[in-house]
Amino acid sequence: MYILLAMDGDNVQEASLTKIDDAKIWAQILIEDGELIEVNHSADKDGFDKFNECVVVINDNEYVWPFMEMSMMVLVAHTQRSIDDIVEAYLFKELHDLAY
């Protein structure tokens, strides 16, 4: 599954999830069979070749309607900020559905 993340930088080890409006770079991660397969970066959220199936946001107050219009699942990482923490939370189903 391809997952889209709004990040504050492109260094995989140091970047943190940030608000959509504050994103300096977008990360697309591929998770297959319980493993992180690849991490891609783009300055634009639409700059990836593969379709994102999910977007992870920092809180329930993010404006996610454009993602929902593209039939993307929206998950919320209330406490997870690093890519590793988000992947782990996704695998263990610790990310939350968006509260409307």
Per-residue pLDDT tens for 15-74?
999 999 999 999 999 999 999 999 999 999 999 999 999 999 999 999 999 999 999 999
Q: How many CB atoms lie within 10 A of CB 12?
A: 15
pLDDT category at 12 given cuts 50, 70, 90 is confident
Domains and CATH numbers, the chain: 2-97 (3.30.420.130)
Is 17:5 a contact under the CB 8 Å cutoff?
yes
Q: pTM for the complete prediction? A: 0.95
